[in-house]
């Protein structure tokens, strides 16, 4: 581990911060994310992008930036593996995460680096955020409420999903190394698992400022494509924390049921009955007693006039 003021084996001074950007088919959004990075008031950083097997114009978009980026290309391996690969190719003391469809406000790094400097025992820092839709319009509240607007203890993180969003995070490289990186077998919910490992390495810092514009995109089909069911993450958490994590496990299952069911309702309202059925069937893998999903599956087989006659948000698809 080298400090930000040290030099590499080639005699180059290492940057204070390595900005880590995983991208897969992000040609439409990556330039917006990069602009927010280059607009930062804090400038002692490098930018490392991992193109995780994109099949769109992402490589051409990245090529326009020349040596302003360090680009790593690999076959598609998923978000956790892409983040790990970017971090392995980076040199900074601090690691700042941003996803390709999010944006930072200009003082994001300035505030984060100052807070980490002032508290050298902190392993990780995160902030509040503005939630926007794909058109860039603010459309829902931040998931951070008054009850979670503080840095969590480990007990709090084992009691429920703690609202930490990757693009708000800055962490110390040595803590990341001790935690062992993101679990590459978890193609979804890898962040929930990783934050627990990071909390073992030291306390967190919470900044109440809204320093990130987080894009809440279309749920379907991503909510299914990045879902491997409850077993993998639940088993990992149970193996490490046992019954201490009962609350987190229950909250995780509730959260997944709610999100996937919501995606199904939206697809039904759009007339995508096959997609809606897929969502409701997936819900039942998390909660076989979810009565509404059985009823909704039955509705997807009804003619459109009957669905409309039944009324309700989930019956409007035509």
What value, to the nearest 5°, has the Cα angle with vertex 64 and ends 58 and 65?
Answer: 105
Closest Cα partner for 70 from 78, 62, 79? Answer: 62
Cβ 157 vs Cβ 195: under 8 Å? yes
Question: What are the pLDDT tens digits along the chain (318 aa)?
Answer: 333 345 555 557 899 999 999 999 999 999 999 999 999 999 999 999 999 999 999 999 999 999 999 999 999 999 999 999 999 999 999 999 999 999 999 999 999 999 999 999 999 999 999 999 988 899 889 999 999 999 999 999 999 999 999 999 999 999 999 999 999 999 889 999 999 999 999 999 999 999 999 999 888 998 998 888 888 899 999 999 999 999 999 999 999 999 999 999 999 999 999 999 999 999 999 999 999 999 999 999 998 888 777 755 444 444
Look-up: residue for tokens 């996803």?
Answer: 99
C-alpha 72/C-alpha 22 separation (Å) is 10
3-state secondary structure of 124: strand
Helix, strand, coil percent values for the chain (each to nearest 5)? 45, 15, 35
Domain edges within the chain? 17-217, 224-315
Helix (H, G, I), strand (E, B) or coil at 105: coil
d(CA 317, CA 265): 9
Strand partners, 204: 124
Whether this prediction's pTM lies above 0.85 is answered by yes
- What pLDDT is stored for residue 20 in this prediction? 98
Tokens of 63: 């090529």
17-217 adopts what CATH topology? Answer: Spore Coat Polysaccharide Biosynthesis Protein SpsA; Chain A (3.90.550)
């Amino acid at each position: 581990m080298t400090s930000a003021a040290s030099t590499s084996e080639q005699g180059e001074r290492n940057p204070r911060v390595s900005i880590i950007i995983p991208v897969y088919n992000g040609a439409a959004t990556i330039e917006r994310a990069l602009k927010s990075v280059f607009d930062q008031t804090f400038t002692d950083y490098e930018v490392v992008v991992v193109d995780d097997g994109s099949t769109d114009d992402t490589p051409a978009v990245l090529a326009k930036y020349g040596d302003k980026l360090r680009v790593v290309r690999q076959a598609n391996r998923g978000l956790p593996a892409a983040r790990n690969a970017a971090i392995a190719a980076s040199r900074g003391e601090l690691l700042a995460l941003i996803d390709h469809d999010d944006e930072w406000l200009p003082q994001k790094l300035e505030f984060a680096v100052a807070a980490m400097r002032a508290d050298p025992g902190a392993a990780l820092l995160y902030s509040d955020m503005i939630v926007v839709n794909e058109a860039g319009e603010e459309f829902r509240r931040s998931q951070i409420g008054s009850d979670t607007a503080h840095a969590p203890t480990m007990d709090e993180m084992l009691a429920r999903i703690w609202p930490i969003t990757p693009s708000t995070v800055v962490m110390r490289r040595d803590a990341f190394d001790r935690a062992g990186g993101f679990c590459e077998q978890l193609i979804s919910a890898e962040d929930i698992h990783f934050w627990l490992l990071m909390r073992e390495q030291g306390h967190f810092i919470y900044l109440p400022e809204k320093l990130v514009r987080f894009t809440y995109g279309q749920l379907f089909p991503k909510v299914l494509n990045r879902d491997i069911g409850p077993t993998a993450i639940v088993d990992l958490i149970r193996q490490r924390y046992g019954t201490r994590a009962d609350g987190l496990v229950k909250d995780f299952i509730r959260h997944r049921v709610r999100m996937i069911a919501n995606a199904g309702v939206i697809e039904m309202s759009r007339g995508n009955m096959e997609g809606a059925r897929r969502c409701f069937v997936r819900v039942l893998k998390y909660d076989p007693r979810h009565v509404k999903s059985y009823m909704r599956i039955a509705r997807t087989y009804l003619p459109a006039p009957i669905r409309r006659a039944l009324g309700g948000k989930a019956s409007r698809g035509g």
